Every structure is written in structure tokens, then in C-alpha cells.
Chains A and B, each alone.
Chain A
Amino acid sequence: MAIALFLAPLLFALAAFVVPSPRVRPWLVPLGAAVHLGLTIVALRGVGPISAFDGWIVLDKLGRVALPLVSTLFFACSLYVPTYLGLRAERPNRLFCGALLAFLSMMTLITISHHMGLMWVALEANTLASAPLLLFNQNARSLEATWKYLVVGGVGIALALLGSFFLAYAALHAGLRGSLLIDDLVQQAPMLSRPWLHTAFIVLFVGYGTKMGLAPMHTWKPDAYGEAPGLVGALLAGGLTTCAFLALLRFYQVCSAAGEGAFARELMVVIGLLSMAVAGVFMARQRDYKRMLAYSSVEHMGILVLGIGIGGLAAFGAMLHLVNNALTKGVMFIAAANIHRAYGTKTTDTVGGALRRVPASAALFLAGFFAVTGSPPFGPFLSEFTILRGAFAAGRYGVAAAFLGLLFVVFVGMGGTVLAVVQGTPREDLPDTGFRDSIGTVGPALILLIAVVVLGVWVPPGLDAALRDAANLVETGR
């Protein structure tokens, strides 16, 4: 069962390479996504074993949150694929479809791998699979973005490996049977060598933090999200970052089990607030609305580590925010992609009055903006409010004040750009691109928005329990 979860998308990826017709091929992506979603539901219901390879692959409490999240987001985005590739019929799509499905497979492997080395290999493979996705437009700008993504991401991945080695060395030095299995590490955690554990966490935090796009390691993000197709942006901002955060949480879990959680938490609070501040600064008067979304992603990665850093109720809030962030980013990137298609440019110099030109997409973009900045009744409001309550409960009043202040700064900065995009009247001299709202382009974002609204008013009991279990796991180590 566990093996089928990541093998199924790989098989569909192979099929995508084999199918000769460029018009049939895109349909393999939603098909593969649907199969994956089905398998995920079966796995969550506990039918059949959910571990394999001597404990290298286990669907644990963290995986029970991340796997369905990744699967749902990918499924919604996959519904966009046939329409999108239909609009871009001039581009070869064999590599694109195959890479999308391989990307899903590797994200799945990250969520269920219970071995630091395996998780690292999956993340590296995931990075490689995303390179063709970024390069889809094949122009000078997307080349530059891909190059930066590979180099900066490559260094991040290299550091993550070095950190994993340090962690293994911490076990080796303690005279333990060096093992990178998470269960072993958690069990042996109290005996691990402290200096090596600290060094490992710092290096890993920088490494996986680079993949997450935390400031100041976020430099690849605006370029990659700005130049990638919106659909790919959604998968990177909602899927890949979720996986990188998950990898970080697993190391934090080991630190917690070792009784060194306080050290890790301080680091996370500082970097979390810094990421929000950097995002706030660069979002102000940002004219490129896709780059704006990248900074929004930097901000929300900051909120995630901040929540874990505060701990307690805020850690639960961070887990809830992980879900909300991924779904909301899906709405925003798909809506932004539609607006981009409708105008042919992505800066507010030329784009304006989107509510008249593509009313449905612009409305979704606006709703997504209110959701992502934490306005009620959307999901992020609930999760950000929970983190705030957690900060008060923990007596971190200064952190709470900074958090609120930065949320406000981001709201104002982002609002300026978003309103410039949707309000007013479109310029007369713009050529008609022929793009109109349709079920295929609006539907996927609408599904995600409905989910975000539902999560804002009602967290299903099953999800609530899963989130509590996950937060508890990373906080206590077990």
C-alpha cells in the first residue's frame, strides 16, 4: 500500500512519456492525481499495511496531515492541466506532464519516508523534477529563474545532506549504532552528542529552510514563482514548501525528543519574524503580481516556523496553517495565471480592471487575497488567530505584537497591488488575448476556495484530531 502511493504516479509519468498524442497526454495528469487521491484515502482509512522496507517508509502522524494535503492540492491543480495545455498547444508537453506526475510521486515519498537519507533523496529528486516545470516557457527569463532555482536549491539540498550526516555523527559519537531511521533517532535522542545535534539543526535549518524559502535564503523564490506557469507556482508554493517544512519538522522532532527543543524554537521564532518582515518590505509597491505571491509565500513560511517556534497551541495553529496556506496558494496562483493569460503581462503597469475582463478569475484573486492575509471567514484567519492565541498563552507578548504588526504591513502592501489588478477599467490599448473565464480555468481554483472557506468556519473532527496528533508528535518527539 505504502509503495503503491508513490509508484502509481510514477507509472502515470511513464505513461505520459509513452503516449504519443499531445492532446490525450494532459488527461493522464488528472487521472493519475485521482488514482493517487483514491489511494491516499484508502491508506488513511488504514486498509492494508502502511509501512514498508523495514520501517524506511511509514505513514506517521505528520504524514497523515501532509499526504492528504499534497494529494488534494495536486488533484485540484491537475484539473487545470488539460485546459492550460490546450491554451498552450504550441508547446511540447511530454516532459511537462511526465515531470508533473514525477513531482507528485516524490512529494508523496517525502511525506511517507521515515529515513533521513531516503527523505533527502526524494527531496533532491523532487527538485530535479521541478526543473522542467519551471523551464516550460523556454525563454531567457525562465532560464534565468531555473538556473537560480537549481543553484540556490542545490546548495540548500547539499546543506541538508551535510546536516543529516552531522545528526548521524551525533549518534555515532554517543557510541550508538548510527542510524538515520527516525524511530531510532527519536529513541536514542537523549543520548545524542549535544554539540553535534546543535550544529546539525542549524545546518539543516538553513538547508531545508532554503527549500522552504525562508528569509534570508528566499532569493530563488520570486524569480521561480514569477516565471513558472501559475499551476507550477501553486504546486511549489503549496506542495514543495509543505514537504520541505515537513522535513524540518522531523528534525525538530528529534531535537524535542533530545530535550533540546528550546534551542531550536528560539531560532525558529527569529527566522519566522524575519521572513515576515522581509516579505512585508518587498511586497510594498510590488508591481509584478506573481512575484508578490512569492513574497506572500515567504511570509507564510515565516508564520509556519514562528508557530512551531512559539509552541503549544501555536504549534497546532501552525499545522492548521500548513493546510490553509497550501490550499489558499492554489487559489491565488491559478487565479493569477488566468489574469496573466488574459492580459499577456504580469505587472500592474498594464494590468488593471481585471474584474471587467475576467470577472470570475479576478473575484477569485480578490477572495484569495482576503484569505491569504487572514481575513475572516477564511481558513487562514482561524489558523493565524490560533497562533496569536498561542503566543499570548505562552506569554510571548512581544512576539505576538510583532506578528500582528507584520500581518498588518503585509495586508496593506499586498492590498495595493491586488486592488490595482482587479479594480478600475482595463486599458483601451491592450490587445485582446482571446482568453475568457471557463469551467476548466476557474473550476479548480473555486474548489480550493470552497475548501478554504469551509476550513474557516468548521474544521472536520478527523482533521482536527490529525492536526493535534501531528503537533503533539513534533513537540514531544513521540
Chain B
Amino acid sequence: MFAAVDPLLVSILMLNFLVLGTSRLRSAINASAMQGALLGALTVFVHGSFSARPLVVGAAAIAIKGLLIPAMLHRALRDIAIRREIEPYVSFVTSLVLGAVATGAAVLFADRLPLAAEHQDVLLVPASLATVLTGFLIMSTRREAITQVVGYLVLENGIFIMGLTLHDAMPSLVEVGVLLDLLVAIFVIGVVINHISREFASLDVARLDTLKE
């Protein structure tokens, strides 16, 4: 475990707030990309030694979460030429406040859980819970399909951090499975987005409301 772990986790938490507070889809995507890249670095540092497996997983995280998926999202954004502004259900200030509350709650909750000796002095578990909650918050307060995908990415990033606490327990198959499945999931969602845009000429999920009671 290197001293760089906590600063990296704090940066990831700051990026949560950037995604929550920005009104531009482009910066939201970039923030999630940055978060993905930091996760890649984190993977290596958490292991505490530069062995092959964490290096490969870290590189894969950077490539997929930091580059590939953001590129796909940017491409989707360009192809369908939607409005640049995010229209949230709640104001940006409110969502920042909610994000702060969620982060505080995550820290308090993680504090009540018994942590293994090697995790007591680092922020891994609270950062994971806070990022998961932020992802939820983004998904439930934003309208555009692309922002919801970004929210899902943040959620998955939070889960990934939790996975890092288990690097001995988790067989590599699951790590690779997580990354691959994420890629495929986003890909499929991307295809659906494309279809939606063709059908509705807009990416506003609030318009996806013919099916209700």
C-alpha cells in the first residue's frame, strides 16, 4: 500500500462533485473518464508492489474506463447533436448538497463497519460507498440518457474501488469479467441510445414515458 492511495481517493471524490455540479455533458463525461484513469493508477498502488497482475488490470481500467468508453460517449454526443446543457430534475446546488450529504453518510457508515487491519488507515471503503451513492444520485436526478450512463459509470467506479480491497480474494477472472461486462453493457446501452435518438430525435428520458399506468 503506497502513500499515494489516499490522495488518489480524494481526487476521485472531488471528481464526484465535478460530475454533480457541471452543467455540461462534455465535462461530465471527461470527469468520469478522469475517474476511470485514476482507478487504473489506484489498482497498481493498492497492491503495493509492481507485479504483473495489478499492472494489467490497471492498464485495462485506464484503457476501458478512461479512454474507450468516454470516447464512445463523446462520439454518441457528436453523432446525435443533442443540447449541450444538462437539465436536472433538481438544481445543481441541491445536487451538490445532496452529494455532500451522501459522502458524509458514506464515511459515517463505513466508520461503523469493522475494517480489516490493512484498510483502517485508508479511505478505500468510505470512498467506495460515497462514489456508489453519487452514482445513484446522478442516475436519479438527471434526465438525459447520456448523463444516466455517466451516473452508471460513476456507480461502477465505486464498486470497482470496493473490489480493490479484495485483490487477494478476487480471482482475476472476475476482475476481467467486470471490465468486459461493463464494456458490453455500455455498448449495448449505446446502441439503444442510437435507436432512441432515431425514434425521438432527442435523448431526454423524460420523453420515454408512454409506458405508465
Q: Answer whether A117 and B173 are a contact pair too, CB < 8 Å, given A131-B188, A147-B205, A155-B152.
A: yes
Are B152 and A169 in contact, with the CB atoms below 8 A?
no
Are A178 and B152 in contact, with the CB atoms below 8 A?
no
Known: A140-B210, A180-B170. 16 other contacts (CB 8 A): A121-B174, A143-B192, A143-B199, A143-B208, A144-B210, A147-B208, A148-B208, A150-B192, A154-B185, A165-B165, A168-B166, A173-B114, A195-B113, A195-B114, A199-B113, A222-B211
Q: How far is the CA of A318 from the CA of B17 in the complex (A)?
A: 45
1/0 per residue, CB under 8 A from B, across A274-286: the answer is 0000000010000
Q: Which residues on the A side are within 8 Å of B114 (C-beta)?
A: 173, 193, 195-196
- Residue in B112, B158, B166, B199 whose beta carbon sits within 8 Å of that of A172 in the complex: B166
Q: Which residues on the B side are within 8 Å of A171 (C-beta)?
A: 169
- SS class of chain A's interface: helix, strand, loop or mixed? helix
Chain A 135-180 interface residues, beta-carbon cutoff 8 Å to B: 135, 138-141, 143-148, 150-151, 154-155, 158, 161-162, 165-166, 168-169, 171-173, 177-180
Q: Which residues on the B side are within 8 Å of A260 (C-beta)?
A: none
Are B211 and A168 in contact, with the CB atoms below 8 A?
no
**B12 beta carbon closer than 8 Å to chain A:** no
**A299 beta carbon closer than 8 Å to chain B:** no
Considering only CB atoms, which chain A residue lies closest to B168 in the complex? A178
Q: How large is the interface on B (under 10, 10 to 19, 20 to 34, 35 or more residues)?
A: 35 or more
Are A162 and B159 in contact, with the CB atoms below 8 A?
yes
Q: How distant is A392 from chain B, measured CB to nearest CB, in Å?
A: 35
Q: Answer whether A172 and B169 are a contact pair too, CB < 8 Å, given A124-B181, A147-B145.
A: yes
Q: Answer whether A169 and B166 are a contact pair too, CB < 8 Å, given A144-B211, A145-B211, A223-B211.
A: yes
**A227 beta carbon closer than 8 Å to chain B:** yes
Q: Which 10 A-B pairs have the closest CB atoms?
A: A178-B169, A117-B174, A121-B177, A223-B211, A144-B208, A165-B162, A124-B181, A140-B199, A168-B169, A162-B159
Q: Which residues on the A side are within 8 Å of B169 (C-beta)?
A: 168, 171-172, 177-180
Are B185 and A143 in contact, with the CB atoms below 8 A?
no
B: residues with CB less than 8 A from A are 112-116, 132, 136, 139, 145, 148, 152, 155-156, 158-159, 162-163, 165-166, 168-171, 173-174, 177-178, 181, 184-185, 188-189, 192, 195-196, 199-200, 205, 208-211, 213
Q: How many A-B residue pairs have CB under 8 A?
A: 122
**A128 beta carbon closer than 8 Å to chain B:** yes
Q: How distant is A139 from chain B, measured CB to nearest CB, in Å?
A: 8
Q: How far is the CA of A261 from the CA of B196 in the complex (A)?
A: 45
Q: How far is the CA of A128 from the CA of B186 in the complex (A)?
A: 10
Q: Which residues on the A side are within 8 Å of B177 (C-beta)?
A: 117, 120-121, 124
Are A146 and B192 in contact, with the CB atoms below 8 A?
yes
Q: Which residues on the A side are within 8 Å of B189 (C-beta)?
A: 147, 150-151, 154
Q: How far is the CA of A177 from the CA of B184 in the complex (A)?
A: 31
Q: How distant is B65 from chain A, measured CB to nearest CB, in Å?
A: 14
**A238 beta carbon closer than 8 Å to chain B:** no
Considering only CB atoms, which chain B residue lies closest to A146 in the complex? B192
Q: How distant is A127 from chain B, measured CB to nearest CB, in Å?
A: 8
Q: How distant is B11 from chain A, measured CB to nearest CB, in Å?
A: 22
**A451 beta carbon closer than 8 Å to chain B:** no
Considering only CB atoms, which chain B residue lies closest to A176 in the complex? B169
- Residue in B113, B115, B168, B192 whose beta carbon sits within 8 Å of that of A147 in the complex: B192
Are B155 and A180 in contact, with the CB atoms below 8 A?
no
Q: Which residues on the A side are within 8 Å of B139 (C-beta)?
A: 151, 155
**A26 beta carbon closer than 8 Å to chain B:** no
Q: How distant is A214 from chain B, measured CB to nearest CB, in Å?
A: 18
Q: Answer whether A196 and B113 are a contact pair too, CB < 8 Å, given A117-B177, A143-B192.
A: yes
Are B188 and A165 in contact, with the CB atoms below 8 A?
no
Q: How far is the CA of A166 from the CA of B165 in the complex (A)?
A: 10
- Max chain B Cβ within 10 angstroms of own Cβ: one of A125, A131, A161, A199: A161
**A226 beta carbon closer than 8 Å to chain B:** yes
- Residue in A124, A151, A165, A193 whose beta carbon sits within 8 Å of that of B152 in the complex: A151
Are B159 and A117 in contact, with the CB atoms below 8 A?
no
Q: Which residues on the A side are within 8 Å of B170 (C-beta)?
A: 117, 168, 178, 180
